[in-house]
Amino acid sequence: MASRRTGVPEWEGTSMTREQWETTQEAAEAAWFRKAEWQRITRQLEALYGAMRAGDTSVYTRQRIGRLEALQQALCGFPEQLAA
């Protein structure tokens, strides 16, 4: 991708090769998506916790909370929690 100011590709003029720059960009994008996923899960969990505080004691709500908590643990680096 070219810089808006100069029209020169962003990796030119640095010690990075195009492949290194692309790898760096892909890692940054993956981190952004993980953060967005974490925020989405957190919002859903907060709503479900609120429903439980308001009196929702259904099995379905508890199952949803369990699945979302397992997803959060997987994002934290414990993917074996998804198997449970």
Give the angle subtended at the CA of 12 by the CAs of 2 and 17, to the nearest 5°.
Answer: 110
Would you say residue 58 lies in a domain?
A: yes
Given this model, what pLDDT does residue 7 score?
A: 59
Digit-coded pLDDT (tens) for 41-83: 999 999 999 999 999 999 999 999 999 999 999 888 888 877 7
Would you say residue 26 lies in a domain?
A: no
Residue 79 CA to its chain's centroid (Å): 14
Give the range of the structural domain holding residue 51, as residue numbers without chain letter: 31-83
Would you say residue 16 lies in a domain?
A: no
Tally of domains in the chain: 1
pTM of the model: 0.71
Would you say residue 61 lies in a domain?
A: yes
Using pLDDT thresholds of 50, 70 and 90, give the confidence band for residue 39: very high
Would you say residue 44 lies in a domain?
A: yes
Would you say residue 63 lies in a domain?
A: yes
| DSSP alpha helix (H) spans, 9-58 | 18-53
Would you say residue 20 lies in a domain?
A: no
- Of 2 and 65, the structure prediction assigns the larger pLDDT to 65
Given this model, what pLDDT does residue 12 score?
A: 64
Reply yes or no on whether the pLDDT at 4 is more than 90.
Answer: no
Q: How far apart are alpha carbons 74 and 66 in whole angstroms?
A: 12
Would you say residue 60 lies in a domain?
A: yes
